[in-house]
Chains A and B, each alone.
Chain A
Amino acid sequence: MFENIINPLIHIGLLVAMPPLLPGVINRTKAVFAGRKGPPLLQPYYDIYKLLRKGMVISTTTTWVFQAAPVVTLAATLLAGLLVPFGPFAAPIHFTGDLILFVYLFGLARFFTTSAALDTGSSFEAMGAAREMTFACLSEAAVLLGLLVLVRLSGSVSLTPMLLAPLAHRPEAPVLLAAAGLFIVLLAENSRIPVDDPNTHLELTMIHEVMVLDNSGPLLGLIQYGSAMKLLVLSALVLHLLVPFHAGVPGVDWVLFPVELIAMAGVIGTVESFMARLQMRHVPTLLAAASLLCGFGFVLMVR
């Protein structure tokens, strides 16, 4: 009984407090590989805190959609975070078919982000919205195919039983293929290299960042917080496929999970340090490869 209260509380605590640490780890990793000292690990927290205290400049051409988008995006991400089990612990909310809700919560967030981008009437932001939508078509397919592997494996269509299915029942090849596909989606969805460059100042090359160019102050803070949370939620999902081992002791597992997340951020930072961005027209090829990996995983399951 005690566990049923404390575990969801820890889950929510991590989901709310930990996200900005991950971009901090990524930036630090990249700095080390580039021979620099890099910003403090907690810099994203300071940045968001700073932004939340600032004023806002809102373009007169925009409507309520522009201001609603960051809030809807954050809310959708938060809700999606409550559907994914962290470590070996069941998610605070789980029900049959929640995986469809999970995928389309991100769809909802994307709908609002791109609508807000179009709302500004800027040619840059419209270009970013077009790119985001084009690439989302491909990455959504990969996510669903990847999750289908787990559906087939566990016989359930709820994230918690799917992801926490006993190890013994897991064939390695399909799960690894799905994990690789989902890792690519993780990089794409979080606008990381090789798909997007979160650090660039070049509007013409951006995908996600260009859509939020008109945001400032608290709204920008919410956007940054939301995208850090998205990184955490998707990482938590992929971790189930990559590191499905648990200590079995709740106290240890609750420590292990954040450590795994930090390691994941380190891996992302390392990937970014060793390669340049892809040409924009090669991004669909990469995402199609992600779909194929997940698809092959699924094919292996149904033979």
Chain B
Amino acid sequence: MSLSASSHNLSLAEISSGQPVARSAIPELPLPQFQGAILDALRDRRRVCALFGATDSENSFKISLYVVLADDQHGRLHIARTGVSADGFPSLTPQCPQVHLFEREIAEQFGVKPLGHPWLKPVRFHRSYRAGADAWNRGPADVVQAGVMDFYQITGGQVHEVAVGPIHAGVIEPGHFRFQCDGETILHLEIALGYQHRGVERAMRGGPDKRSLHYAETLAGDTTIGHGCAYAQMIESLGSCQISPRAAAIRGIALELERLANHVGDLGALSGDAGFLPSASFCGRIRGDFLNMTAALCGNRFGRGLLRIGGVGFDIDASLAADLLKRLDVAERESRAAINLLWETSSVMARFEGIGAVSKETATELGMVGPAARACGVDMDSRRDHPSGIYQFSHIPVSTWRGGDVFARAYVRWLEIQRSIQFLRDQLKALPVGALQAEVSAPQPESLVVTLQEAWRGQVCHVALTDAQGRFERYKIVDPSFHNWPAVAMAVRGKQISDFPLCNKSFSLSYCGHDL
């Protein structure tokens, strides 16, 4: 850790992903400087990775705000904190749309109001962490129910309101979408989530314990390895543990298999939503083949139980590596055929091209991450920008595209599929040696760690604050969906409501990852 000399970050602690910093070394700024630092950072092409509140104990009136800013170009993270009173603090959202949901989350969790927030609504519909404090002055008798809030409304002769969900016709997670439409055109979409809120962040308090890793694995079921790796790396850096190259390689293999299964599955689902059956059926089956490779690795198709603190629980021996390579060849050939069929079919391309376009400016302003951001031409990928584990030694080229429409989001996935397969082949052919698990010491007390992982959906960010005994005093999780949900609403504005499902699928965001 060092205090950066650059004029912009004079007052911020500078670390990198997975590097613990003593809490005393994090500068406590007065609120105006704290917010000024965030605005400076955005002007400087940095991003808000996380902005969250923390208290020493559940009833404390002293609320601290922490911000984690990512400098993707230099692979550095800048951290600062500030104190806010229970009466509220001036909202930064009007100047900085990226913090819109973060400020709503702070209001909901700590009952402290961001004053002047343009759309202060609950995010997950739960009671505040501080007993009695509520940003909406709801008493203990008032019912707090997901989706019950005032929605943005437009009135007028031809304007009509369409409410979709929370229960959907397909087997997907619950979420409520409220459209204001003029005929077939969407004027405004408001998304209300929170139906899947389980209180994971709160349950992590007082950890790490035996449950913590499993909480992390189930934050979003389809991102088991992504969230699991972020958590495991957190405990390892707090316990000054360096995992072996072999364990790092196996984690990388699992993470890329997860990416492959989800990307192929999503391309199939996109094809299905466009009414094009051949690719939909083939991709659905090939997704299963990739999941089965993960199962061959650890016995579970989603990779549950593969990760252990200090390494991995399962080895890849020579025969398994040969078997996986063989399966990879078949899956590559088949997915190439099924996916190229999409690009070659003009009726499919007519549905993909130009639909749900997000500009690069909007993507940057909203702080979008992952393939959805790369499809807008934003050149970012935590595997390159904030590498950890195997990605420090083995690089995967970043796949970007232009246009930010459904086609771009689909095509970036296809580019990533090809590069992940190449990466897997390289790793499986030359697995490094080393112990599967390394010793991990007790977590460092009074520290803060940020870990970033590029999961298939985008950047996963975990932040832990430990107390004097080395237990989690605050555990903050930011799933990529949290950054990207507002982009879905922007992508469909002014577009046809009949294209919404396709557009939504092209983002393929998580509900439970957002709801935590």
Contacts and interface: CB of A to CB of B under 8 A. Distances in A.
Interface of A: 30, 33-36, 123-124, 126-127, 130, 193-194, 197, 199-205, 272-282
Contacts of A194: 275, 347
Contact of A279 (B271, B277, B350, B501): B350
A130 to B, nearest CB: 8
Q: Most chain-A Cβ atoms within 10 A of its Cβ — which of B169, B275, B282, B496?
A: B275
B292 to A, nearest CB: 18
B176 interface: no
B278 A33 contact: yes
Interface string B330-363: 0000000000000001011011000100000000
Given A205-B502, A272-B277, 16 more contacts: A34-B277, A35-B282, A123-B160, A130-B183, A193-B275, A199-B275, A201-B168, A202-B169, A205-B498, A205-B499, A272-B275, A276-B348, A277-B351, A278-B347, A279-B350, A279-B499
A127 B179 CA distance: 13
Nearest to A130: B183
Given A123-B160, A276-B345, A278-B347, A200 B184 contact: no
Contacts of B355: 279
Interface of B: 160-164, 168-170, 183-184, 271, 273-278, 280-282, 285, 345, 347-348, 350-351, 355, 496-502
Shortest Cβ-Cβ A-B pairs, 3 listed = A277-B275, A34-B281, A280-B498
7 contacts: A30-B277, A34-B282, A201-B168, A202-B501, A272-B277, A279-B350, A279-B499
B184 A201 contact: no
Contacts of A277: 274-276, 347, 351
Contacts of B162: 123-124, 127, 204
Contact of B164 (A33, A203, A272, A273): A203
A273 B278 contact: yes
B275 A200 contact: yes
A276 B351 contact: yes
A193 B274 CA distance: 10
Nearest to B280: A34
Contacts of B500: 204
Contact of A205 (B271, B280, B345, B501): B501
B180 to A, nearest CB: 11
Q: Most chain-B Cβ atoms within 10 A of its Cβ — which of A33, A203, A277?
A: A277
B273 A202 contact: yes
Contacts of A193: 275
Nearest to A269: B277
Contacts of B169: 201-203
B270 to A, nearest CB: 10
B466 to A, nearest CB: 46
B498 A204 contact: yes
A123 B351 contact: no
Contacts of A200: 273, 275
A203 to B, nearest CB: 6
Contact of B184 (A34, A202, A272, A281): A281
Contacts of A276: 271, 274-276, 345, 347-348, 350-351
Contacts of B498: 204-205, 279-281
Contacts of A199: 275
B407 to A, nearest CB: 13
A275 B160 contact: no
Contacts of A278: 347, 350-351
A30 B275 CA distance: 11
Contacts of B273: 200, 202, 205
Nearest to B350: A279
Given A193-B275, A203-B169, A275-B345, A280 B161 contact: no
A241 B286 CA distance: 43
A204 B345 contact: no
Contacts of B184: 280-281
A204 B273 CA distance: 11
Contact of A123 (B161, B183, B280): B161
A279 B278 contact: no
Nearest to B161: A123
A34 B348 CA distance: 15
A280 B348 contact: no
Given A276-B348, A280-B499, A204 B278 contact: no
Q: Most chain-B Cβ atoms within 10 A of its Cβ — which of A30, A34, A272, A280?
A: A34
B277 A33 contact: yes
Nearest to A283: B498
B278 A35 contact: yes
Contacts of B282: 34-35
B161 A202 contact: no
Given A34-B280, A123-B161, A123-B162, A279 B275 contact: no
A201 B273 CA distance: 9
Contact of A204 (B271, B281, B350, B497): B497
A201 B351 contact: no
B307 to A, nearest CB: 34
Q: Most chain-B Cβ atoms within 10 A of its Cβ — which of A126, A127, A204?
A: A204
Contacts of B351: 276-279
Contacts of A30: 277
Contacts of B161: 123
B169 to A, nearest CB: 4
Q: Most chain-B Cβ atoms within 10 A of its Cβ — which of A30, A35, A130?
A: A35
A199 B501 CA distance: 14
Contacts of B276: 275-277
A213 B362 CA distance: 37
A88 B273 CA distance: 41
Nearest to B181: A127
Contacts of B168: 201
Nearest to A198: B275
A126 to B, nearest CB: 8
Contacts of A205: 273, 498-499, 501-502
A201 B275 CA distance: 11
B501 A197 contact: no
B287 to A, nearest CB: 14
Contacts of B274: 276-277
A126 B163 CA distance: 13
